Amino acid sequence: MNSTHYTYSEIRQQPAIWKTVYNLIKSQKNEITSFLDKVFFDDKAVEIIITGAGSSFFVAETSAVIFQKNTGFTVKAVSSTELVTHPDLYINKGKNNLLISLARSGNSPESTAAIVNAELVSETISHLIITCNKTGKLATDRNENNSYAIILPEETNDKGLAMTSSVSSMILASLLVSNIKDIENLSGIIHKMADFGEFLLTDYSSKLKDFAANKFSRAVFLGSGASVGIAREGHLKLQELTDGKIICTFDSFLGFRHGPKAVVNNETLMVYLMSNNEYVRKYEKDLVNSVQNEQKPNYSIIISESFESFQNISLTISMNTTESSLPEEILSICSLIPIQLLAYYKSLEYGLNPDSPSERGAIHRVVQGVSIYPYKKLLKTNTNA
| pTM reported for the whole predicted model | 0.92
Contact 219, 245 (CB under 8 A): no
320: pLDDT strictly greater than 90: no
The full set of domain ranges for the chain reads 6-178, 189-349
pLDDT digits (tens, 9 = 90+) for 334-363: 999 999 999 999 999 999 999 999 767 555
Q: Would the CATH topology of 6-178 be identical to that of 189-349? A: yes
Q: Report domain 6-178's class.
A: alpha beta
198: pLDDT strictly greater than 70: yes
Quote the pLDDT of residue 307. 84
pLDDT digits (tens, 9 = 90+) for 166-189: 999 999 999 999 999 999 999 999
**pLDDT band with cut points at 50, 70 and 90 for residue 13:** very high
Contact 138, 112 (CB under 8 A): yes
Q: Report domain 189-349's class.
A: alpha beta
384: pLDDT strictly greater than 80: no
pLDDT digits (tens, 9 = 90+) for 267-290: 999 999 999 999 999 999 999 999
